Amino acid sequence: MSKFGLFGKFTVEEHQREELVRILLEAAASMQDLEECENYVVHTSAQDPRAVYVHEVWTSENAHQASLQLEAAQTLIRHAKPIIKDVERVCPLIPQGGKGIS
């Protein structure tokens, strides 16, 4: 089964960007010991003060789906949902390898 990658963009109000970054970094921290999550990097952009990007690599699409049921993820979703104005997935990705994933 191939790995599963995501690169997504969240849009929030400018004054709530730090809050979303904090929530997403908390989620990343909660997945430090989750082997199925190989990469979860949170970015902001100098070009768009309302944008927060996340790059994810999972061992499989199923693993990613299952993670959404974890309590940490449910908490993230509850906290983040009210401040997220838009979600865009740049595209679903098939990780081929590289530095930073197994």
Q: Which residues bind its own copies (CB under 8 A)?
A: 5, 7, 21, 24-25, 28-29, 31-32, 37-48, 51, 53-55, 57, 90-101
Q: Which is nearer to its own copies, 45 or 74 (CB)?
A: 45
Q: Tell me if residue 13 falls in helix, strand or coil.
A: coil
Distance in Å, CB of 21 to its own copies, minimum: 5
Q: Which is nearer to its own copies, 82 or 98 (CB)?
A: 98
If one counts every other C-beta atom within 10 angstroms of the C-beta of residue 11, the result is 16
**CA 52, CA 20: separation in Å to the nearest integer?**
8
For the record, the structure tokens of 45 come out as 């952009």
Distance in Å, CB of 57 to its own copies, minimum: 6
